[in-house]
Amino acid sequence: MLPEIEKLLVLQDSDQRIRTLQLELLAIPQQRAAKEKTFSELSQQLSQIKFRLREIELEKKRLELDAEAKRESIARYKQQQLQTRKNEEYSALNHEISIAEEKIRSIEDRELELMETIEKLRPLVEQAEKAHVEGRIKLETQLSGLETRKNSLEARIRELQAGRARLTEGVEEDLLDRYTRLFKSKAGQAVVPVEHEVCSGCHMKVTTQTVILVKSEKSITHCPQCGRVLYLCP
The answer to whether 229 contacts Zn ion (rule: CB under 5 A) is no
Write down the least CB distance from residue 207 to Zn ion, Å.
Answer: 12
What residues have CB less than 8 Å from 74, skipping those under 6 apart?
97, 100, 101
The answer to whether 201 contacts Zn ion (rule: CB under 5 A) is yes
Q: Residue 199, SS3?
A: strand
Q: Which residues pair with 5 in a beta bridge?
A: none
Comparison of 21 and 194: residue with beta carbon closer to Zn ion: 194
Instruction: Report how far residue 189's alpha carbon sits from residue 15's, in angstroms, rounded to the nearest whole number.
Output: 10
Site for Zn ion (CB under 5 A): which residue of 220, 223, 229, 231? 223
Site for Zn ion (CB under 5 A): which residue of 28, 131, 167, 202? 202
Instruction: Report how far residue 231's alpha carbon sits from residue 222's, in angstroms, rounded to the nearest whole number.
Output: 9
Stretch near Zn ion under the rule CB under 5 A, chosen from 26-34, 100-108, 132-140, 222-230: 222-230
Q: What do you get for the CA distance between the two ends of the chain, in Å?
A: 8
What residues have CB less than 8 Å from 109, skipping those under 6 apart?
none
Task: Report how many residues bind Zn ion under the rule CB under 5 A.
Answer: 6
The answer to whether 135 contacts Zn ion (rule: CB under 5 A) is no
Stretch near Zn ion under the rule CB under 5 A, chosen from 23-31, 97-105, 157-165, 219-227: 219-227
The answer to whether 226 contacts Zn ion (rule: CB under 5 A) is yes
Using CA atoms, how far residue 85 sits from 81, 94, 204, in Å, is 8, 14, 114
Stretch near Zn ion under the rule CB under 5 A, chosen from 136-144, 163-171, 183-191, 196-204: 196-204
Instruction: Report how far residue 183's alpha carbon sits from residue 179's, in angstroms, rounded to the nearest whole number.
Output: 6
Comparison of 16 and 31: residue with beta carbon closer to Zn ion: 16
Write down the least CB distance from residue 172 to Zn ion, Å.
Answer: 22
Which residues are at the interface with Zn ion (CB under 5 A)? 199, 201-202, 223, 225-226
